Structure formats: C-alpha cells, structure tokens
Amino acid sequence: MTPTLQQALDRIDDRVDDLVELTRDLIRFPTINPPGEAYQPCAEFIGKRLAKKGFDIEYVRATGAPGDSDHYPRVNVIARREGSRPGPCVHFNGHIDVVEVGSGWTVPPFDGLVRDGRVYGRGACDMKGGLASAIIAVEALIEAEPDYPGTIEISGTVDEESGGFGGVAYLAGKGWFSAPRVNHVIIPEPLNVDRVCIGHRGVWWAEIETRGRMAHGSMPFLGDSAIRHMAAVLERFERELYPMLAARHSDMPVVPDGARQSTLNINSLHGGQGEEHEGLPAPCVADSCRMIIDRRFLIEESLAQVKAEVTDILDDLAKSRPGFQFDIREMFAVEPSISDRNGAVATTTAAAILEVLAVEPAIVCSPGTYDQKHVDRIGKLKDCIAYGPGQLDLAHQPDEWVGIDDMISAAKVMALTTSRLLRRTA
Ligand SMILES: [Zn+2]
C-alpha cells in the first residue's frame, strides 16, 4: 500500500465520530417509501455536504415517475468530482428511501440511537449506514490523494424499495449510469462487510383473482364461492409448484442458502366481503378472491417459464373445475442480474477486503433484487456490484441497526477500491 493510501485509511479511523453523526443525520430524515417522505431535504443534505468537498451537485426530479407529485417529489442527488487528469469514473449509489416502520420496535426508529457500538434506526443497515461509509471513504481519499486521476461520483437515489423507477431506473434511462460517464458502480447495500455481491435473483409479482357468484350464506349451493376456487389454486401450488421450485438449485451463489432455490411467497389473500364493517359481517358467498404472489427466480430460469408454470395451473383448473374463472394481472417483473465475478470492480473490492479485514471474501448474490438491474439492463453497464456494511437479515426488521466497526471497515475497503479503480486504464 502506498503511504498516501495508508494515510486515507488512517483518516477514516480518525473520523469515526463524523461517520456516526452522518449516519444518524441520514436516519433522522424519515424517508419512508411509500409514500416517499422527506426525499428532497435528505437529497439536499447530501448535496450540501458534498458541495463543500468540491463536488458538482445536480438534483434530478423524476417527474412523472410512479408516486411523483409536488407533495412527494422524487428528488435524486448526483455529486461528481473530476480528478486532476482523465481516467475512469467510480460511482457509489445509495438509495435514500426506507421501508415503513412496522411494529415491534424497542428504540425510536428515526433518532439514530447509538448503543453498544451500533447505530439503530429504520434504514440504519438498509442502507444509510452504507451510504455514510461511502461518503466518508471518498472524503478521506480526496484529502489524502488530492491529485487523483479519473472521476468520483456519489448518488443518493429514491424509490429503490418500490422498484427504483423514480430513482436509478429514471436516471439510467437518461444516461446517468452508462459509459463513458460512469465505468464502475458500487451499491452499498447491506450484504455484510466481507462479501462482494455480484447480482440478484429475478422477481415476478402477480395478482390472481378467482371469481364466483354471490348468494345467501345459508344456501351456499345457490352461489359459487370464489374462495373455494382459490383454495383449489393453492392446493395445486402445494402439490405441484412448491416441490418443483424447491428442487431447483442455482449456480448463482445466492445467500442465505435457502434462497439458492426458486421461491414463491403468497404476499396476501383476500376473499369475500372486507373486514372493515361495523358489527357482525353479513352472510354471503364470496364472489371474488384475490391473491398476490411473489415469485423469485434464478438465472437458470426464464421469466416466460416462470409465468407459464402459474398460468398453466390456472388454465388447467379452468378446464377441469366446474365454474372456475380467473384473471391474472402482472404487477412487477425483474430479470435476474449477475455481473462478472472476474470484472474490475468485483476483483478490486475482493482484494481490498482481504487487505483490510484479512479474511477471504465471499462472492455472493442477493436473494432480493436491488438497483443493479437498472444499471445492467437500462444503463448497459456491467461492472456493478453491491458492497456495504450491515447484516442483510436485519433489513426491514424492527430495531434495525448497523455496526460502527463494520462501517469503518467498509469505508476502508471502499477507499482502497476506489483509489485502485481510478488508476486502472480501461
Ligand atoms: Zn436496500
């Protein structure tokens, strides 16, 4: 390691208080999505900080994106700082949105409580701690190596938790995530500090509705229950689909182990009258039953096959089960994405992990999707990974936290990686 690089890493150690305060400041913006609360002040906070360090700041509102309104504007921030001479561009992309709070918290979700070497709060691990680590890493590097070649970019983007359409997808569509503007992308999602994440599984969300005919609940034989029709769907899923999916294993190194197969979650199931009535419900046969499914699939499967496995069961029931009628509506589809494990950003990050942490890095894929898909599919930029502090299992949970030591380690790995990538000749 060069003396200036060592200096950059030492500076990160000296800045632990700054790193913790920055993480807490970010957590204090309650950027809950949906609806997309406090995006603009959070983006401006990041922009103002980086402007003081010599970055050019641009704010891009995703006008017309899902959920964008004057009350909830989808505001993204992109900071860019060019070095002393031409070279590649390294980009850190962190989403600033967080999921709803939910129940079960024993600490305040938006105070940024610090206790026992951890910072607590909604978004602490997913992924404000990661974004703070990237900012500290880059600031320390710029001070230690002010004459760096190439360009450093940091973006804070919105809506990742709802698909990224107002964030990275929107920006990628306008050229912000493509060469030659950007060459290497690191997304500090909480994949653990000693792992390099090279991609993610695919997603297919669909709503299935079965239909029936209303009748008096005392004479159900005069109607036709949509709920019983849905039960027939579920029975086929249990008998045929679940065993088939469980038997499929991927060569993608997905973590945790359980996600190395195809999975299907039933997100919700609603049949018959709503539950919001006052007093007792009226006795009726259900004329509609709706179910939302969340299918996660592997690089070895195609989206067309994934869809056909479900629609074939529904078509078959329509033929074989009297009165069975259905609709299916696709809500969301994402192809799996995987980058080259021998690519520049993956190998450079892995080497930096070994150097900083003295552990052999694991190369993994994420069970869920994240914004890499948009960098890959829309930006056509393949050299993209996720690397950041925080334990994946804690994301979206009550009492979410990120470890301060992990943030320091991740910041060092990021600084080292950035310095080396900037000196690569493409
Ligand atoms: Zn995330």
Task: Note the pLDDT of residue 426.
Answer: 55
What is the Å distance from ligand 1's center to 370 Cα?
Answer: 7
What is the Å distance from ligand 1's center to 329 Cα?
Answer: 26
The topology under which CATH files domain 202-334 is Alpha-Beta Plaits (3.30.70)
**Annotated catalytic residue within 68, 97, 153, 189:** 97
Task: Note the pLDDT of residue 1.
Answer: 83
Q: What backbone torsions phi and psi does residue 333 show, to the nearest 5 degrees?
A: -145, 135
Q: How far apart are CA 426 and CA 424, in angstroms?
A: 6
Task: Note the pLDDT of residue 275.
Answer: 80
Residues of the chain with pLDDT under 50: none
Given this structure, which CATH class describes domain 3-200+336-422? alpha beta
pTM to 2 decimals? Answer: 0.91
How many residues are recorded in the chain?
426
Q: What is the DSSP letter of 265?
A: E
Q: Are 94 and 134 in contact (CB under 8 A)?
A: yes
What is the Å distance from ligand 1's center to 212 Cα?
Answer: 40
Residue that is written with structure tokens 């004057």 in the block: 70
What is the Å distance from ligand 1's center to 380 Cα?
Answer: 21
Is residue 160 part of the annotated active site? The answer reads yes
**Annotated catalytic residue within 160, 189, 194, 383:** 160
Domain residue extents for the chain = 3-200+336-422, 202-334
Q: How far apart are CA 357 and CA 364, in angstroms?
A: 17
Q: How far apart are CA 165 and CA 30, in angstroms?
A: 20
Tell me the pLDDT tens digit for each residue of 175-217.
999 999 999 999 999 999 999 999 999 999 999 999 999 999 9
Q: What is the DSSP letter of 150?
A: E
Q: Are 172 and 78 in contact (CB under 8 A)?
A: no
Q: What is the DSSP letter of 224?
A: B
What is the Å distance from ligand 1's center to 355 Cα?
Answer: 26
Residue that is written with structure tokens 């609360």 in the block: 37
